[in-house]
Amino acid sequence: MERGKRERLLSKRDSTTYTLILDAKDGKFKQKLHLSLGWSVDGRLLELFIDDKHTGSDVIFYMHQWAIATSKLLQYGAPVEEVFRKLRGVKLHGGTIDCDAVPTIHKKYSPSIIDAVVQLIMAEAPNGKRLDA
């Protein structure tokens, strides 16, 4: 994939969906997110979707918009490490991440929802490719 030219995704493509639970350390909220990662035929991460049960939530609205913008960056050839490196450690309502499907982040502290999503992506697609690709 050459940088600067958008890679179009197939209408039917592989994806992996995870449920992330972020428990605030102060106990004031528990955020449950569904994160879907869309993969190219050769296993590269090209798309992400974020959703939760709180329709109309400002946080989820912004996370959804961030996922769209991030997907476009990946489709235009931006390396996964560059896209996510600066977002690692973003602080906002920290707590514990729980994702049974990803042992490397199960019951691990995260300073924000964005950081939790980035941790999951970097665990499942280091170097921009699916682990089993």
Q: What is the pTM of this model?
A: 0.82
Inside any domain, residue 104: yes
Inside any domain, residue 3: no
Inside any domain, residue 124: yes
Inside any domain, residue 7: no
Per-residue HEC secondary structure of the chain comes to: CCCCCCCCCCCCCCEEEEEEEEEECCCCCEEEEEEEEEECCCCEEEEEEEEECCCCCHHHHHHHHHHHHHHHHHHCCCCHHHHHHCCCCCCCCCEEEECCCCHHHCCEEECCHHHHHHHHHHHHCHHHECCCC
Q: How many domains does the chain have?
A: 1
pLDDT, tens digit only, all 133 positions of the chain? 566 788 888 888 899 998 888 776 666 667 788 899 999 999 999 999 988 876 667 777 888 899 999 999 999 999 888 888 877 777 766 667 766 667 767 667 777 778 888 888 888 888 888 887 6
Inside any domain, residue 117: yes
Inside any domain, residue 66: yes
Residue numbers of the domain that contains 116: 15-128
Inside any domain, residue 9: no
